[in-house]
Amino acid sequence: MRPMLATPASAIPTGEQWRHEVKWDGMRVLADVRDGAVRLFSRTERDVTVAFPELHGLHAEYADMLLDGEIVSLRQGVPSFGAMAERFHVTDARRAARLAEEAPVTLMAFDLLRLYGVDLLARRWSDRRSTLERLELSTPRWQTPPTFTDGPALHAATREQGLEGIVSKRVDSPYVPGVRSPYWLKSPHRGTVSVVIGGWRPEIGGAGARRLGAVLVGVPGPGGLRYLGRVGSGLAGRVGQTLLHDLTPLASGESPFLTEVPREDADGATWVHPVLVADVQSLGLSSQGRLRQPAFKGLRTDLTPGDVDDHAEGE
């Protein structure tokens, strides 16, 4: 089962029909607890249980439940997407155990979809939420963060605290798996979009050494990728070196972009097969359909190009 998704908000809703939560900058998962064990599934239904051994003890809380939430890596109380990105792709149990010891993650549980065999999907959000709060999940490794009645105030507070933004939910909304619902609205401060990498450019003045200067990104459309621009910010140091290592074996002889790539971006570019998904922060799209002031956040190994929306909205 895939999680229910939020729609970008044109304005923060107000009134008694809405409640508001912090938008966490991490990895969306469904945590399925049953038969004395917990299994964690990503947005694409990939089993990522082995990557997060510090969450395996969740099964001791209740014998049967299905939680929706976000796994975050907190740094001084603020989620770090970069730290989480290291954990996305871990499949070796020993490495996962070492990372869990060095920098354990926290599951922020914000919805309850099943409890003791009872399916809660069709119930109102307010009913599901009340039941979730009665579970009293409150440890350093898993917790239920609060909700708020004043969306604009929470939005302002999260901006001041350096958090990603807020999600607003109608109190009467059912849970519809896999649907981007108008009853859940997200209001990020600096929008995060998921994009597909279609090429890369070397660093200017690299003195012969192959260093990654920028990636060329887009979103899927009929027949290819719709070009969204060049992303260079956020690729310095180890991040760029690691990404170049991932991109090198994907080299292709032709551009995967359906729309034209400007000459200043295409010159010297190495095209790649469009299989890697990344998250990019930006200030939205320009009138030419390009990302404004984009910054690379990290690869999304929990997503495939088929999960990326053509309207370039992230989750």
14 and 112, same domain (yes or no): yes
21 and 164, same domain (yes or no): yes
pLDDT confidence tier of residue 310, bands split at 50, 70 and 90: low
Tell me the average pLDDT across 218-235: 92
Question: What is the residue whose two structure tokens read 């579970």?
Answer: 135
CA distances from 276 to 85, 107, 195, 220 (A): 14, 26, 9, 12
155 and 239, same domain (yes or no): no
Residue 314, domain member (yes or no) = no
Cβ 99 vs Cβ 107: under 8 Å = no
Look at residues 157, 188, 219 and tell me which one is the last residue of a structural domain: 188
Tell me the average pLDDT across 99-115: 96
Look at residues 188, 210, 238 and tell me which one is the last residue of a structural domain: 188
Q: Per-residue pLDDT tens for 286-306?
A: 878 899 889 999 999 888 998
Instruction: Give the pLDDT of residue 209.
Output: 54
51 and 162, same domain (yes or no): yes
Count the domains in the chain.
Answer: 2
| Of 148, 179, 127, 159, nearest in space to 14 by CA | 148
25 and 127, same domain (yes or no): yes
Please check the confidence at residue 246 and state whether its pLDDT lies above 60. yes
92 and 158, same domain (yes or no): yes
Instruction: Give the pLDDT of residue 313.
Output: 43
183 and 296, same domain (yes or no): no
107 and 141, same domain (yes or no): yes
Most confident of 70-79, 125-134, 203-212, 227-236: 125-134
Catalytic residues: 23
Look at residues 188, 206, 231 and tell me which one is the last residue of a structural domain: 188
Q: Which amino acid is at 264?
A: E
pLDDT confidence tier of residue 162, bands split at 50, 70 and 90: confident
Mean pLDDT of the chain: 91
Cβ 118 vs Cβ 102: under 8 Å = no
166 and 220, same domain (yes or no): no
pTM check: above 0.85: no
Could you tell me the residue range of the domain that residue 11 belongs to? 5-188
Stretch among 51-55, 118-122, 197-201, 303-307 having the lowest mean pLDDT:
303-307
Report the distance separating Cα 59 and Cα 66, nearest Å.
11
173 and 66, same domain (yes or no): yes
184 and 196, same domain (yes or no): no
